Structure 1
């Protein structure tokens, strides 16, 4: 699962342009900007922060025998697995890269020249959960040079200002403060009010995430993730079914050729046509159940031995 890194930048700038064009007061009404993103997606970048290869996304499950052994000790940190895979299989690219940037660092750099990540993103790498800094011990045991990793900055910290180039690309005002954001699920939890114990949220996209707030770190149970919250010093506990949205796309691509053809003819979205048909099915689907084993070694499926 790879995607051209510049695609993330283009879609980000397009979104900002459209948002500002619809804002009554324009860019002058914007007091600051943060980046929130899919976590655990890494990109090899040069000293300018430009990509040397496509971004390896969060659903990518490549690993090595060594990374699987490490995962048994430190849990499923997929950014570690990916970097260990590149060390073993594409060593020249690994060495050529100035940094292996997480997605927030890549976008932050384009906005203000700060190649930095939040603890929420860094948590999937060789990080010490007590300090929320890179662990020299884990870097040594995994073979990942610590100088290949971007700096970690707490969410809510000012990391720079919108540059002239970024202002042209985004329609934001040059000099607008850029604030360190957090992961997509952390920001989702914050926005939905999951900021104290006893509250839970569930959201579905590429995957489905059920998340609750924690006041302190909780040792990760067998199939759940404990990650830094968007609120510094707090945590979230995540139950993840990684392939729900992927299953929808898989169904469209494999079983819905007539609907896709009709969509092309009528300039409609194929999913809207599929959903209109699905709405006619009785509640319960006559007992048919689909469980999305689309990324079987992530989330709740981790280490269960599925093939």
Structure 2
């Protein structure tokens, strides 16, 4: 039997899945690592800890490839990361992740003077501190010593693959998420390079998504259990590959994913720029561009509710041996749609789409004596979906009404969350059976790279049975009344987000 490994290097863990060429799963590994958060705005990771996690994940699944050969390993990786390397390719920084907010003032200034929108129109990267281009500008101001001693600027995937092969390569989809890549010329953007003061030779060589790295270092081949001749397919961003792994590859098919964070995305056949700069636009492969909006606050909000609002319920669930989240969703399900007018803005970690405000902060609005803890739980879940729906509204201005909505991520295991998505979006929501869609998307790219498939449509054979959730029309009146209030309140609070964020920074 022939096998392919899909590996997804995420923000909190690396997952690897061993497939045969028909998409059947034969092995799975999930290796966790910490996010380093020394200040409210910091979100870093240790690149060598993640490198070790990838070795362990690959070793765990490769040993399950019995009676056959592994044809290749395909990569999906978190986007918007930045890592400096010295002349000997040793890190000069930690991995500065998408969630790091220290470039907020730089991004805000460029947004105010119009340079951010101009950069967006060239690169497809919205104006936000998540962007490596803004991180570079911040580093040059805040840490000129590090900036000067850094010979190369890369992302996490580029560093990992350098460790495996000794080559600095970057696929177009990862490069396009940096703000240093021009989506119209399909090359590094000269104006962004001048802005940051870096040169082309400080960046990796650009390659296609299907590009194969060969010549795995013998010591790493031994550690991973792979043959030294095993090709690594460079793959793409985790967002693009999750979209592919969901099977949302055709015109008008929209993917909604909620893991730790979340996103609403779709594929188009050419670059599309939003005049208001609310949605990103990145190339993935020939004829496939991904547009959409990521949100910072997905499942991480529910985790905050569990740990901080519902600690007693968490203890009860542990004592009874039941899932903590199941208990909380049962509480939420006991409350009417709309939480009796309680709204929650889920901006616990700033926000990306659609407001692109690193200073955004969370809030409950509308609390009365009538509201209970169950209301607060449901309002938090609804707030996450309200926010995703506002991203969808921005996306609709570019693509029109969606033909189909597909969903995946940790939330998709909860019937209540699935139903909330269908009810608030007022659209049927299809939940494919597919497991770890980022890994599946990577495996699909590998099929094309290895000559086993001609295009992305092969993924339709792999995603399994799809269950469709129909919207409950009895909830429409509640949500149609509340969503506009939610959006107007966001606009009214936005003028004070910077003030409260600055206060928190001064008193941290």
- Which TM-score applies when normalising by structure 2? 0.54
> 1:209-251 deviations in whole A, cap 9, x for unaligned?
111110001113431111112x334201112222113323333
Distance in 2, matches of 1:294 and 1:100, equals 29
Aligned counterpart in structure 1 of residue 119 of structure 2, from 58, 61, 74: 74
Query: What SS class does the counterpart of residue 86 from structure 1 fall into?
Result: helix
C-alpha spacing 1:17/1:142, structure 2 compared with 1 (3 Å):
same
C-alpha spacing 1:47/1:233, structure 2 compared with 1 (3 Å):
farther
Question: Which segment is superposed worse, 248-257 or 207-216?
Answer: 248-257
> 1:6-34 deviations in whole A, cap 9, x for unaligned?
22212212221221233333xx5211112
Distance in 2, matches of 1:6 and 1:248, equals 30
C-alpha spacing 1:187/1:161, structure 2 compared with 1 (3 Å):
farther
C-alpha spacing 1:210/1:97, structure 2 compared with 1 (3 Å):
same
Query: What SS class does the counterpart of residue 324 from structure 2 fall into?
Result: helix
- Match for residue 328 of structure 2? 277
Distance in 1, matches of 2:84 and 2:191, equals 23
Aligned counterpart in structure 1 of residue 79 of structure 2, from 39, 42, 63: 39
Distance in 2, matches of 1:115 and 1:59, equals 24
- Match for residue 50 of structure 2? 8
> 1:48-81 deviations in whole A, cap 9, x for unaligned?
4332221111111222655441323213261111
C-alpha spacing 1:48/1:164, structure 2 compared with 1 (3 Å):
farther
Distance in 1, matches of 2:249 and 2:261, equals 22
C-alpha spacing 1:64/1:291, structure 2 compared with 1 (3 Å):
closer
Distance in 1, matches of 2:198 and 2:299, equals 32
Alignment of 1:203-214 (within 5 A): 203-214=257-268
- Cα contact 2:297–2:351 (8 A) shared by 1: no
C-alpha spacing 1:286/1:138, structure 2 compared with 1 (3 Å):
closer
Question: Which segment is superposed worse, 168-177 or 181-190?
Answer: 168-177
Alignment of 1:101-180 (within 5 A): 101-125=154-178, 126-180=180-234
Distance in 2, matches of 1:221 and 1:240, equals 18
CA-based RMSD = 2.6
Question: Which segment is superposed worse, 247-256 or 194-203?
Answer: 247-256
- Cα contact 2:293–2:352 (8 A) shared by 1: no
- Match for residue 88 of structure 1? 141
Query: What SS class does the counterpart of residue 188 from structure 1 fall into?
Result: helix
Query: What SS class does the counterpart of residue 219 from structure 1 fall into?
Result: coil
The alpha-carbon deviation at position 259 of structure 1 amounts to 5.8
Aligned counterpart in structure 1 of residue 69 of structure 2, from 29, 49, 53: 29
- Match for residue 301 of structure 1? 355
> 1:76-129 deviations in whole A, cap 9, x for unaligned?
261111011111111111121221211110111122222221111111221111
Distance in 2, matches of 1:52 and 1:259, equals 44
Distance in 2, matches of 1:181 and 1:243, equals 26
Distance in 2, matches of 1:285 and 1:166, equals 53
Distance in 2, matches of 1:156 and 1:21, equals 25
Distance in 2, matches of 1:259 and 1:165, equals 48
* Unmatched tracts of structure 2, length 5 or more: 1-42, 121-125, 358-490, 498-508
Aligned counterpart in structure 1 of residue 95 of structure 2, from 43, 51, 55: 55
The alpha-carbon deviation at position 192 of structure 1 amounts to 2.1
Question: Which segment is superposed worse, 275-284 or 86-95?
Answer: 275-284
The alpha-carbon deviation at position 2 of structure 1 amounts to 0.9
C-alpha spacing 1:24/1:149, structure 2 compared with 1 (3 Å):
same
Distance in 1, matches of 2:303 and 2:344, equals 14
Query: What SS class does the counterpart of residue 344 from structure 2 fall into?
Result: coil
Distance in 1, matches of 2:89 and 2:287, equals 29
The alpha-carbon deviation at position 297 of structure 1 amounts to 4.4
Distance in 1, matches of 2:192 and 2:92, equals 25
Highest CA radius of gyration, 1 or 2? 2
Distance in 1, matches of 2:151 and 2:304, equals 36
- Cα contact 2:295–2:351 (8 A) shared by 1: no
- Cα contact 1:2–1:54 (8 A) shared by 2: yes
- Which TM-score applies when normalising by structure 1? 0.87
Distance in 2, matches of 1:280 and 1:261, equals 15
C-alpha spacing 1:295/1:31, structure 2 compared with 1 (3 Å):
same
Aligned counterpart in structure 1 of residue 299 of structure 2, from 245, 254, 266: 245
The alpha-carbon deviation at position 285 of structure 1 amounts to 7.3
